[in-house]
Structure 1
Amino acid sequence: MSGPDDVSQTDLAATDSPNDTLILHPGRRGLLQGAALGGTLAMLGGMRNAMAAPDGPFPAHPKWRFVFVNHVTTNPFFTPTQYGMQDAAALLGCGTQWTGSVTSDVGQMVSSMNSAIAAKASAIAVSIIDPHAFNDPVQRALEAGIPVFSYNADAPTGSGNKRLAYIGQDLYQAGVKMGERIVSMIDSGPVALFIATPGQLNIQPRLDGASDVIKKSGKAITIDVVATGATVNEEISKVKSYYLGHQHVKGMFAVDGGTTEGIAETMDQYDLASKGVHGGGFDLLPRTLELIKKGAMDFTIDQQPYIQGFYTVVEMFTFLASGGLVGPADVNTGLKFVTKENVDPYLTTSTRYEGKSSQAQIVPHSGLIAG
């Protein structure tokens, strides 16, 4: 897969202007509303000013640097997120940095946040995968005048985390929708729910939502919860091992992208769809889509990772440009079931929006727009 490099503690070149003193701004006006945070521009002292194009919508501003702290920096799911981050930053004349952990190590992520605070980042976006570990660095960033947003995973209500807004899928409701799909296909018997890293807030709420729906359905469905690990190869191996030891299973479903690919591979290898076994999960890894088209698996769920990067940068920019008067606001990046009936456009186009191409392009739309 062609994609952006994983970069730690350096700016991504794709968002760097060839001339730091001349940046064009064909950007859009801020659309978000929310609470202001005073003093957010205090950390900008000493930065070189940029010069806006005469017809641009924004005046000259520093080349703000937005730091994204991620939990699985090399996972292919986040390739389109990085493209969205880069594209919005290039549009608005800003720089970005992609850092964090490869293996969902919370300590490494907190260390990356501390480094961003010490380096006086203009704004920080963090995937809050732990309910409490990020409270202190978020608070310290805000006290230093650095706005903090969460993306992809959010702190639970009541956790005390003071991040300004969340940009990502409503994870529990996504799990609810998957659970409803499961009980519509299966009447009884064992169902496996796979999760890469149990307890982490980017995926645990989905498992909780699906489990709640299944339990409340009244159907004689039993649930096995299976942990698979943080890397795609590990996840695929765990799914195959589970099936070989539980060949009476009626359905296998995952709440993360790598494990979803593992389910698709396993169902294809053992021709499980023809045996009445159902399967599904999340995200748009190419092999998952190919096997849905083949009929090996029922569905996957698109959470639009590109806009998790793009919209987060827009919120950061509008917050800084307005001195905190505009934004922040929570953004639900949505849910879409991808099945054999609607998978073709995902397979016939290769774009930055789904992470399959690094090329910037406008993709013509064909057919009706679903309401």
Structure 2
Amino acid sequence: MALVAAVLVLTACSEGGRVKDPDTGDGTAGDNSGYTIAMITHETPGDSFWDRVRAGAEQAAKNTGVDLKYSNDPDAGKQAVLIQNAVDSRVDGIATTLVTPDALAGSVKTATQAGIPVVGLNAGIDDYRRLGVSMYFGSDETRAGTAAGERIAAEGAKHPLCVIHQAGSVSLEARCEGVRSAVPDTENLQVNGADDAAVVSTLQAKLQQDPSIDYIVSLGAPIALDAGKAKESGDSQAKIITFDLNQETAQGVKDGTIEFSIDQQPYMQGFMAVTSLYLNLKNGNDLGGGEAVLTGPSFVDGDNIGQILPFVQNGTR
């Protein structure tokens, strides 16, 4: 899917987001910019998705001479504290996920009031403007869910099970709502995504209880692997689709154990979030258009997995 350009209205002030000497570098790879940018996410430890987000951010920081401070916590209150800590340390810019926007609103406001430019990534596409965040890099999750639902509906889906692995995540709920818009009998199932064994056992029990489930919609690559284990232990014939990729799920698409993935290109999200902050701080650059920059959704299936798999294995897709 083509990227949709978006406006980046960021303010560089004398507090956070201070303007640097324009002679500190020429903007090329290896520029010693001297900026400090904090990236704060809701990463659950062990979720390989975030390795790609962070890898993209680190490459962008290397290219531009940025000192990248990465931190994460899946607990919304603790993520808000991490944002406040970044403000207190007077970083030059902040990139943050907005998976629980209301819980983060106060700390984000503190950052913008301090003159620190803030961009959103990965989660919060429907809320970033309301929070005063100037830019967003990620997928339109409602559109992604709808696209997935329409595809499986065309394949005959009647009763998909949409597995939500993080409570309160607006992005995951939007995906399931999108699927339901195309397949009305879609059922949501809440699991603890931080505990793979618990996910497997919960899915096993659900599949045994309801054999009419014909598709398992995993909202994250590790959950797709758990779904595969749950299927192996029972008689379910449910097909598995997933959002996002890691090496194992990409191989599953190639092998046919996973029907397809809806990819949002997390490496690009991390890379663009850091790069956009750098360009604004250094040159006052804006990305025009007024809308979020979309990094997905994009289908990965048997037709294109051969092209994409090497990049997944390299950790950049």
**TM-score for both structures, normalised by structure 1:** 0.74
Identify which of structures 1 and 2 has the higher relative contact order when contacts are C-alpha pairs closer than 8 Å and 6+ apart: 2
- Structure 1, unpaired ranges of 5+: 1-31, 216-221, 355-371
> Given the alignment, which residue of 229, 249, 265 partners 2:229?
265
Residues 1-371 of structure 1 correspond to what in structure 2 (within 5 A)? 34=7, 36-43=9-16, 51-52=24-25, 62-74=33-45, 75-101=47-73, 104-154=74-124, 156-157=126-127, 160-186=130-156, 188=158, 190-215=159-184, 222-231=185-194, 233=196, 234-267=198-231, 270=234, 275=237, 277-323=238-284, 325-327=285-287, 330-348=292-310, 350-354=313-317
Whole-angstrom CA distance in 2 between matches of 1:36 and 1:108? 27
State the identity as a percent.
21
The amino acid of 1:40's aligned partner reads C
Q: Is the 8 A contact 2:265 2:296 kept in 1?
A: yes
Alpha-carbon shift at residue 184 of structure 1 (Å):
0.9
Whole-angstrom CA distance in 1 between matches of 2:11 and 2:63? 26
Which is worse superposed, 119-128 or 288-297?
288-297
- Give CA deviations for 1:281-338 in whole Å, capped at 9, x if unaligned: 1111222222222222211111101001001111101111124x52476210022222
Aligned length: 309
Relative to structure 1, the CA distance from residue 35 to residue 171 in structure 2 (aligned partners, 3 Å threshold; closer, same or farther) is same
**Higher helix content, 1 or 2:** 2
The amino acid of 1:65's aligned partner reads T
- Structure 2, unpaired ranges of 5+: none
Whole-angstrom CA distance in 2 between matches of 1:205 and 1:173? 9
Whole-angstrom CA distance in 2 between matches of 1:266 and 1:295? 17
- Give CA deviations for 1:198-253 in whole Å, capped at 9, x if unaligned: 431232111111112222xxxxxx33210112326143343233223323322211
Relative to structure 1, the CA distance from residue 213 to residue 133 in structure 2 (aligned partners, 3 Å threshold; closer, same or farther) is same
- Give CA deviations for 1:142-171 in whole Å, capped at 9, x if unaligned: 111101111000153598311111100111
Whole-angstrom CA distance in 1 between matches of 2:59 and 2:128? 34
Whole-angstrom CA distance in 1 between matches of 2:105 and 2:24? 36
Whole-angstrom CA distance in 1 between matches of 2:83 and 2:128? 22
Relative to structure 1, the CA distance from residue 39 to residue 319 in structure 2 (aligned partners, 3 Å threshold; closer, same or farther) is closer
Relative to structure 1, the CA distance from residue 339 to residue 138 in structure 2 (aligned partners, 3 Å threshold; closer, same or farther) is same
Whole-angstrom CA distance in 1 between matches of 2:297 and 2:191? 23
The amino acid of 2:297's aligned partner reads L
Relative to structure 1, the CA distance from residue 68 to residue 237 in structure 2 (aligned partners, 3 Å threshold; closer, same or farther) is farther
**TM-score for both structures, normalised by structure 2:** 0.86
Whole-angstrom CA distance in 1 between matches of 2:249 and 2:128? 36
Relative to structure 1, the CA distance from residue 89 to residue 254 in structure 2 (aligned partners, 3 Å threshold; closer, same or farther) is same
Alpha-carbon shift at residue 33 of structure 1 (Å):
6.3
The amino acid of 2:300's aligned partner reads V
The amino acid of 1:240's aligned partner reads Q
Relative to structure 1, the CA distance from residue 35 to residue 351 in structure 2 (aligned partners, 3 Å threshold; closer, same or farther) is closer
The amino acid of 1:326's aligned partner reads D
